[in-house]
Amino acid sequence: QVQLQESGPGLVKPSETLSLTCTVSGGSISPYYWSWFRQPPGKRLEWIGNIYYSGGTNYNPSLKSRVTISVDMSKNQFSLRLSSVTAADTAVYYCSRANYFDSWGQGALVTVSS
């Protein structure tokens, strides 16, 4: 079973850009779609977007203006950037393989605070 691991800063200042990377091990990035989700404390999950291994993307319309998802096949990684963050972006961020969401990372808590 493929393993996913999120990494990145756990604290981001308001108005700055949140950056997370998901490293895929035990399998290849191709030929799958890969997704990012988030879950604010005590709230429901929210789909952020996904990326195909070759680079095509789909984003949640509510976040589209601030989100960029990219892929680096050479490193077997895909990444999330969320710009102009506010306290409302504080959440646990998860990466997942969008093959019926069969694999998930353990999650990374990102807090937006000055």
Partner 1 sequence: QAVVTQEPSLTVSPGGTVTLTCGSNTGAVTSGHYPYWFQQKPGQAPRTLIYDTSNKHSWTPARFSGSLLGGKAALTLSGAQPEDEAEYYCSLSYSGARPVFGGGTKLTVL
Stretch of 15-23, 24-32, 53-61, 77-85 lying at the interface with partner 1 (CB under 8 A): 53-61
Compute CA 93 distance to the chain's CA centroid, rounded to the nearest angstrom. 6
Q: Which is nearer to partner 1, 14 or 101 (CB)?
A: 101
Q: Which of residues 78-107 bind partner 1 (CB under 8 A)?
A: 94, 100-102, 104-107
Q: What's the number of CA atoms in the CB half-sphere (13 Å) around residue 58? A: 8
User: Which residues contact residue 9 at a Cβ distance below 8 angstroms, ignoring those fewer than 6 apart?
Assistant: 18, 19, 110
State the residues that interact with partner 1 by CB under 8 A. Answer: 37, 44-47, 50, 58, 60-61, 94, 100-102, 104-107
